Structure 1
Amino acid sequence: MPRTWTGTGGWSLAYARDRLKLETDGTVEELVGTEASRVRVARRWLEHGLVVASADGMPALRLAGLDPRDAREIRAAVTRIVTRTKLRDALALAAHREQVFHRLLETRVRKQRWIAHDDAVAILAGLPHHADLLATLTPDERAALPRHLSAAEQRALAFLAQDHLARVGAANEEILRRELIAGRDFFAGVERSPLTVEQARAVVSHDNRVRVIAAAGSGKTSVMVARAAYAIRRGLTTPDRILMLAFNADAARELQERVDARIGALGLRADGLRAATFHSFGLSLIAEATGRRPRIAPWVEDGKDVEKVQAIVDRLRDTDLDFRFRWDLFRLLYGKASGSAENGDHDSYDPDTQVSGFATYRGETVRSEGERLVADWLFLNGVDYRYAHPYPHNVADRVHGRYTADFYYPAADVWHEHWALGADGTAPFRGYAEAMAWKRRVHATHGTALVETAWHAIQDHSGFEAFARDLERHGITLDWNPDRPLPGADPLEHERLARLVRTFMSHVKAGALTRAALQERLATMPALDTPRTRLFLDLYWRIHERWQDELDAADAVDFDDMLLRAAELVERDPGLARWDLVMVDEFQDSSRARARLTKALLRDRGTHLLAVGDDWQAINRFAGADLSVMTGFSAYFGPALTRRLQTTFRTTQNVADVASRFVSRNPAQLTKTVRAARGPGGAPVTVVRVERHDALPAAIEAHLQRLSGGPGATVDVLGRYGFDRKLVPATAPPGLDVRFRTVHRSKGLEADHVILPNVTTGRYGFPSTIPDDPVLALAMSADDGYRHAEERRLFYVALTRARHTVTVFTVAGRESPFVLELLEDPGVEVRGTDGGTEEIRVCAGCGEGTLVRRSGRHGEFYGCSTFPRCRETAWV
């Protein structure tokens, strides 16, 4: 209410609405809104008065003679004016938005239409946070709020304090409950089998961005088909505004056929609804935008891209001697190097010297990677050398034993020491520098010629130039021949290096990485910033440029360039994105290029993305897939809803449990609790161990004979590599349909029985121990760092292809680490080839091998199968 206070000094202060009017000595001043805070009540001795701060920096005005009761009222009036002014606009906006928000929730629940995240956020946009708004008030102002705000204002302030998205979630749960009841007949008949509750929930959840995490065999295709039918039936969109994207032509064809058939069976029209691969869709999109459909390069379309890289390399080697030398240098010397003087796994053992180390091209075992680089370079240059050769003079003393030099060149009587020094001169251990000084003194004392190399200089190929000059100065002839026959270790083959270049190119293109971008990445990865990496990049960009020249000459594009081009066109012209509902299958295999195109198809509001996949089945990182696109879905696409399909219609519960426990050892995998629709139980996963690798075919044939006793069944033999096919009998037993596939090609398929024919350890075992080349980390998406993460997911895919039984074959002493893990699982049993139970003793020393029987100088003993990496033994 308006109020006026008068002081004994003749001044007056009037209050009305949002202002104070001060009259004193014939002067009138209005203080509007927060300016009212210039007025405060002061007490001096026993008297109250006003202090009015100046607005222009002048001394404050002091007015005496205020009644104590009036002082309390003035304080309250000032607090009320300032508080209401600070909150006025925000509360007015909140009051308006509360009505709109309430109407949205009430209307959508009544009509049973999902409340999309973006629709709710559009209403809430611009509203201040409750805590931020209160932070603008002083403690006294906050304490007095209930007295100074009207009921409507207090309701508006309370609205700001609510968890609005939680209210949206609660409303959507009610919509979902009603829809599952009202659409019971639809969900029972949209597919050949009725949808489960979790499938129906994924269908009804018509949010802007929905990630469906689907366990193996959980019916993800049914969800996509039903989502399309549901959207059409409920009038959420029309068929021509629905797009379904798959990763290969077979999957796209199956989607199109199923969606057409099921929507037609419901009496709905599917005209214009499109299921396509990313590649065919991208091509048509470019054609629509530019009036010209791109041509995919024939060598890419025919899967001969690695051969094309090899052809480019051959031409460069023929026409450019510098490129030829650098290519051979990387392939022959640096292809297998770890990049560190101390790192790298030993790959050789010399029983005569009992030295574990690294195999050279000449066939001996040396102690370090630096020595292997030197030895291989010497061999390729035709230099005769002796490794670890004894010095002819007796130089042993109380501190030093017999001296053995790293290398000796008999033709020139020259000795060579290779020092494990870093670029800053640091030694690998204490006392190393003193040992270097002693060896140098030995040669100086006895007048023997010594040449020296250091790891940091040899790692950088320029170090070989100084080494070559030293050798030639001593009369040693160098004859570089990269085609020299190699009796010892295998080099990095031309084809493997070409495949590495092509893989690197796929990741560079998928991520739209430029030279500058790669250099920036390299600057943040000091462990990778090595001469080896720089040599590879130099080779790569030469090949990349020729690849692009070949594309231009053929008036063609490759798939990665095409996807990026399609994404760029949509980003520039959003009108090309005319779909309301976009669904993507196998989302865990999305590359950055596919993800970018998908994101470009999403308008600010009104579009809906359903991404279906299973991070447990992400097995295509080598081909450019970036799992973080799915695991970090919200970070990439925006706030999203996650639904899980955790009921498998394929496997038994026992197989599902074994497979789930196995893949979930990696804590980075998203959590799922997989339940078998057929209920608990099922045959255990069986591990069959044979004594020798050549006994695998007979053991597999015997197992197939046992399976053939019942009615006709399908058997998939799933090899880690194509050459595992030779382990499968040429003729299947009667009543069995036996097929061989690689595990990669088995994705999405199933069989009654699954056989894994060669789950052993080694480079071509399962898991494969062929390492990714370190340079790939520069262009690839980061992995989760868990050992054998992708191989583990691949093994999970193999296990979950089976409807009834899984049988894993391994070899004694060569058991895969995956087999060792399975042995710990209660759902796994071990049997011999005769069907009887067996025991496998896991090495207590390393936990990564098994104890196998061996003969030694002192008789029979058990040794670890990973020897020489682990030297654990036990008596027989």
Structure 2
Amino acid sequence: MRSNSLPPSAENPPNYATPSPSARVHNAGKGHFIALSWFGRIFSPLQADLRFDEYGMYFPEGARLPKALKTIVSAGHTSPNANQPASFLSWRHFDVPPIFEWRWLGATMMFQINALDHELHFLGYRGSKTQVDNIQIKWANYHQSRLLQLVHNIENAIQARYLKHSHVIAIQQRVALEYPRWHTWTQSAPLGKTVKEAVIKLEAMHRWDHSDIASLREGYIQKQLHIYADFFQRVESNPLTDKQRRACIIDDDNNLLLAGAGTGKTSVMIGRAGYLLTSGQARPEDLLLLAYGQKAAAEMDERIKHKLAIQSIKTSTFHSLGLSIITHVEGKNPTLSPWVNDEQEKTKWVLASLENQLQTESYQKQVVAYLSNYYHQPKSPFDFDALADYSRYLNENNVRTLKGERVSCFVHLHIANWLYKHGIEYRYQAKYVFDIKNKHLRENRADFYLPQDDVYIECFVLDKEGNTPCYIDKNRYQEMIKNKREMHRQHGSRCIELFYHQYAKGKFNSALKRAASKLQINIAPLSNESLLHSLQKTHYLSELAALFCQLIGLYKSTIPGKFSVKTVMANVASKDAGIDTQQVRTAFTLLRPIYQDYQKHLIQHDYIDFEDMISKAIMYVENGKFTAPWRYIMVDEFQDISEPRSRLVRALRDCALTVGALDEKCASLTSSGVKTRRKKGQSASLFCVGDDWQAIYRFSGSDVTLTTQFNQYFGQSSENVLDQTFRFNNRIGDVATQFVSQNPAQIPKNICSLAKVADPRVSLLYSDNKTSSSEVLLHQALAALAGKADKKYEQVNKSGKTEKNRLTESDGIKNISRERSKPTVYILARFWFQLPDREGLEVLNKQYSNLHIMCLSFHAAKGKEADFTIITGMSRGKLGFPSDKVTSPVVEALLPKQETFEHAEERRLFYVALTRAKHRVYVLAEMTEASPFVTEIINGTYDVELISCDET
């Protein structure tokens, strides 16, 4: 039970203040005294008896005291009259009661003042022994109010609110100061019951360990669960689960709630806000709720309004929060740049700025060097397992020469660009000008032919040990090289031989230059103007402008302050990810004048952009120009947070000034016994809800490690998990959990489904027939869902058995139809272009009229749910899934550090796709170009239904 006051009694007197001089004179002849021993009467520095009463000790006139002690007692000097005490030492100064040792020449009193040890010798045996108990009683009476108040405050704090980590530290620090004053002597001392009980409690607090703290917290939680059971029962449409209720109550300094897909995280956000208000721990103005998008914020506000009947709580987006902070500090509403919602116009402006910079010769030269040497991200042919994979990479990343030609490898790209820049006419993949008798070479072509000089260039894909990529037969390749050399010898043709290992070591340019000089090839380098004119035709400049537009936003949101290439390079060095530093340095050197023009444009028009909203808000909070009024900060979808946003959250947490009643009590625990008025209160409570398994926005700056390593960034934290999903059944959950958990960096969770089914509910519809398209598979899945399947398809179970089954979900449709008119079906894909367009979707909804069909990308589907989902686009490559699209090293320089686990974010994206469905997921796969995710599912131990959709 909480004690509201300390009852007055002889055992609990008021705290004694230092007596006035007149009171000390009045008491000088009263109280107790300790006479000197016979030896002390001659040699003691006291020269007279030592007296004490309830206020402290009195030293006789002329006592010779140590300098440190004399400084203290001199403040108590009253009168030079020898009949009156000259010095006084209050019990306040004694750290613990004095103790005595009895020696040959008299007793020695040992005492501690302000942590310094002192001794008074030659006291009488009888008097010292007689007065030990009295001294302890007097000291205890003087100090007990502080002890009782401390224990009282701690007990109240434990019962009043959740025991935060910062409260534990404050309590332990204060107990550590008070405990040594009582624990060595109180067991045998003649103290009252109240004081002894307080000492026992203090000793227990001193021994607190993790289990004790956990027990105290659990006691508080159980009490709150009981008191607010009715609130948790009715706050949402369905009663909150036990873990949801606990998440509402637990209130450490920093709280991370890992909420799996469909586990009701929004219900916790609503429930926690309502609980804080209902329990009186907060007022509406004490709460800050943060969401990512305006739509999510509006939905949160609507639910709060509906469920809690409160109009005054408004959910902010990070941008609107930043805007309000800037407005508060600057005293006016800043003007948003019109480009914040028009990326196309922003890119056009960046292109115009780029073209303006190209008026200078030095900038022209740098742009040409960058586009010809660094624009494409090269990959070694030795990195691929099949030639088709390497070719696909080149095609999907649109690798082209400065003339706009497609090439079969990056080595050829480098050669073509060098020849073009040096004004050397060439033909790529040219036929030989002479007849070839060797049948093995008849279909071969020269890599390059220089018609004006009648010179061939042959480039051989060999490393320095003479090895070929794994998909090329080494012996046959070496034989081909031998045949080509013999062919050129027979025809007397001039040929330049180049090797991949020269390219890998950066020696291609020098090799080409030497060969051109030796063969007297005419070199006439093109002017920068000519090269740029050619680049404009191939859209290189517009693509570079789009890249620079992206970099401006990323730079402003990643690196605060003035533009600095040096800072970018330091950021690259910290990643240790094998990024081409020269490429990054060149790109950001080119970006610098455009970035500076962009900033000048904003200043001239008094604009701010989205990045300014965050960066300026951080600056104003960190330098103290804005003080957060919120005591509770709640962040939704935390797994999507970026470092700047998390920095803003941390700054708001740490600058909170509002101090509640309990906080004031806890503040007193950090002082030395006297409650002082604090200018700054405790940090706000931080509550973040997210799911590292659904972190899918690294490309925009989100950093999953801020979730997986939450306490490293925010400090000591409480981590809790919502692990019961209300959306998908257990068989979908098992597959999704197994798949995402392959990455050991993901936080382990055991998601339990409320809905239990016996048979597999993830069906893989596949076709080995090259003529069967994804559209055919899509119609077969929709027909099954619509209950119209009239064909039999071969179903291959994971056990290896083959049987004829009807591909149908008609029973499921009937069950859903009882609740509403049509079941919902999401067709999901990694990219929008892989989905039916608007007209195609209309056709599908007409054709399958008993279904409500929608199309969404995986990213757009996050946070949504349907009765059934159909996942398409499960093929390999840059535009497949997982996407092999390579992020430019220049962009990588500003993104969070890449994860080491292969396809880590794409794997989480597939988890998001799998967990949108309530009842069943269909995964469509054309096996001729099957995604590695499909291969993993088929070859692994996943509990899926494999259905071949080829007619038998």
Normalized against structure 1, the TM-score is what? 0.71
Residue 567 of structure 2 aligns with an amino acid whose one-letter code is A
Q: Does 2:231 match 1:115?
A: no
1:576 deviation in Å? Answer: 3.2
| Aligned residue among 541, 545, 548 for 1:501 | 548
1:170 and 2:215 correspond: yes
| CA–CA distance in structure 2, aligned partners of residues 461 and 450 of structure 1 | 12
Q: Distance in 1 between matches of 2:511 and 2:150?
A: 74
Residues 389 and 574 of structure 1, relative CA distance in 2, 3 Å threshold? same
Are the counterparts in 1 of residues 407 and 413 from structure 2 also a CA contact under 8 Å? no
- Note if contact 2:636-2:690 (Cα within 8 Å) is conserved in structure 1: yes
| Structure 1 residues 382 and 430: alpha-carbon distance in aligned structure 2, compared to 1, 3 A threshold | closer
2:313 aligned residue (270, 273, 287): 273
Given that residues 868 and 917 in structure 2 are in contact (C-alpha distance below 8 angstroms), is that contact kept between their aligned partners in structure 1? Answer: yes
Verify the 8 A CA contact 1:105 1:115 in the aligned structure 2.
no
Counterparts in 2 of 1:298 and 1:212: CA distance versus 1, 3 Å: same
Structure 1 residue 494 displacement after superposition? 5.1
Report the secondary structure of 2:924's partner residue. strand
Matched, 1:674 2:721: no
Gaps of 5+ in 1: 18-27, 34-68, 134-144, 265-269, 393-403, 422-426, 837-876
The answer (yes or no) to whether the contact 2:584–2:893 under 8 Å persists in 1 is: no
Aligned-residue CA RMSD in angstroms?
5.2
Question: Structure 2, unaligned stretches of length 5 or more?
Answer: 1-32, 52-63, 70-101, 120-139, 190-195, 435-444, 469-477, 479-484, 657-680, 788-812
Report the Cα offset of residue 250 of structure 1: 0.8
Distance 1:386 1:783 in 2: 37
Cα distance change, pair 12–285 in 1 and its aligned pair in 2 (3 A) = closer
Q: Secondary structure at the match of 2:836?
A: helix
Match of 2:241 in 1: 196
**Equivalent position of 1:722 in the other structure:** 832
Moved more, 176-185 or 772-781: 772-781
Tell whether the 8 Å contact from 1:584 to 1:611 is kept in structure 2 after alignment.
yes
* Partner Cα separation in structure 1 for residue 894 and residue 44 of structure 2: 76
- The aligned counterpart of 1:242 is 287
1:832 paired residue number: 948
Equivalent position to 2:232, from 148, 171, 187 = 187
SS of 2:899 mapped into structure 1:
coil
Q: Is the 8 A contact 1:503 1:622 kept in 2?
A: no
The answer (yes or no) to whether the contact 1:335–1:491 under 8 Å persists in 2 is: no
Q: Which residue of 2 aligns with 1:519?
A: 569
SS in 1 for 2:900: coil
The match for 2:706 is 629
Q: Structure 1 CA distance, aligned partners of 2:735 and 2:148? A: 53
Find the aligned partners of 2:493 and 2:876 in 1 and give their Cα distance.
51
Tell me the CA shift for residue 752 of structure 1.
0.5
Moved more, 768-777 or 640-649: 768-777
Distance 1:535 1:346 in 2: 32
Q: Deviations over 1:655-689 (max 9, x none)?
A: 11111111111111112110112235464211111
1:535 CA displacement: 1.3
The corresponding residue for 1:596 is 647
**Is residue 323 from structure 1 mapped to residue 363 from structure 2 by the alignment?**
yes
TM-aligned CA distance change 1:498 to 1:660, over 3 Å: farther
Matched, 1:649 2:726: yes
> How many angstroms does 1:579 deviate by?
1.2
Amino acid aligned to 2:156: T
**% identical aligned pairs:** 27
In the alignment, what sits opposite 1:46? none
Given that 1:414 and 1:451 are in contact with CA atoms closer than 8 Å, whether structure 2 keeps it comes out as no
8 Å CA contact 2:696, 2:906 repeated in 1: yes
CA separation of 1:166/1:29 partners in 2, compared to 1, >3 Å: closer, same or farther? same
CA distance in 2, matches of 1:706, 1:764: 28
Whether 1:789 aligns to 2:879 is no
Cα shift at 1:288 = 1.8
Distance 1:3 1:578, change over 3 A: same
Q: In structure 2, what residue type is equivalent to 1:520?
A: A
Equivalent-residue separation in structure 1 for 2:113 and 2:464 (angstroms): 71
> How far off is 1:502 after superposition?
3.8
1:208 deviates by 2.6
Structure 2 CA distance for aligned equivalents of residues 543 and 343 of structure 1: 38
- d(CA) in 1 for partners of 2:914, 2:366: 44
User: Is 2:575–2:897's contact at 8 Å kept on the other side of the alignment?
Assistant: no
How many Å separate the matches in 2 of 1:447 and 1:705? 65
Trace 1:291-690 onto structure 2 (pairs within 5 A). 291-304=331-344, 307-308=347-348, 310-312=350-352, 314-316=354-356, 319-338=359-378, 345=384, 361=401, 362=405, 365-366=408-409, 369-370=410-411, 372-379=413-420, 381=423, 383-384=425-426, 409=450, 411-412=452-453, 428-429=464-465, 470=517, 474-479=521-526, 497-513=544-560, 514-515=563-564, 516-524=566-574, 527-528=578-579, 530-573=581-624, 576-602=627-653, 603=656, 605=682, 607-681=684-758, 683-690=760-767
Q: Aligned partners of 2:188, 2:892: CA distance in 1, in Å?
A: 62
Structure 1 residue 698 corresponds to structure 2 residue 784: no
Instruction: Work out the CA distance in 2 between the residues paired with 1:3 and 1:419.
Output: 108
SS at 1:611's partner residue? strand
* Separation in 1, partners of 2:259, 2:389: 50
Q: TM-score, normalised by structure 2?
A: 0.66
- For 1:456 and 1:194, the matched residues in 2 are separated by 66
The answer to whether 1:233 aligns with 2:297 is: no
Distance 2:919 2:755 in 1: 11
Map of 1:224 onto structure 2: 269
Structure-2 change in CA distance of 1:300 and 1:463 (3 Å): farther
Give the residue type in structure 2 aligned to 1:753.
Answer: F
Equivalent residues of 1:383, 1:477 under 8 A apart? no
SS at match of 1:726: coil
Deviation string for 1:357-399 (max 9, x for gaps)? x987455545xx455412333256553267899999xxxxxxx
Letter in 1 for 2:785: L
Render the CA deviation track for 1:125-175: whole Å, top value 9, x for unaligned.
477799xx9xxxxxxxxxxx9799988999799668634565443212111
Judge conservation of contact 1:587–1:611 (CA < 8 Å) in 2.
yes
Match of 2:901, SS state, is coil
Q: Distance in 1 between matches of 2:875 and 2:384?
A: 19
How far apart are the structure 1 equivalents of 2:511 and 2:299? 58
Larger deviation, residues 645-654 vs 323-332? 323-332
Equivalent pairs counted in the alignment come to 733
2: CA distance, partners of 1:611 / 1:233: 21
What is aligned with 1:849? Answer: none
C-alpha separation in 2, matches of 1:405 and 1:271: 76
Q: How does 1:29-178 map to 2 (within 5 A)?
A: 102-111=151-160, 113-125=161-173, 162-163=207-208, 166-178=211-223
C-alpha distance in 1 between matches for 2:532 and 2:386 = 23
The Cα of 1:332 is off from its aligned counterpart by 4.4
- Structure 1 pair 314–509 and aligned structure 2 pair: CA distance change class (3 A): closer
Task: Note the C-alpha offset of 1:281.
Answer: 2.0
Cα pair distance change 1:261/1:319, threshold 3 Å: same
Q: 1:351 to 1:805 in 2, by over 3 A?
A: closer
Partner of 1:779: 894
Counterpart amino acid of residue 696 in structure 1: S
C-alpha displacement at 1:640, in angstroms? Answer: 1.6
In the alignment, residue 521 of structure 1 is paired with which amino acid? Answer: N
1:762 aligns with 2:809: no
- Alpha-carbon separation, structure 2, partners of 1:405 and 1:698: 42
Shift of residue 693, structure 1, vs aligned partner: 7.3
Question: Matches of 2:539 and 2:332 in 1, distance apart?
Answer: 42
**What SS does the corresponding residue of 2:907 show, helix, strand or coil?**
helix
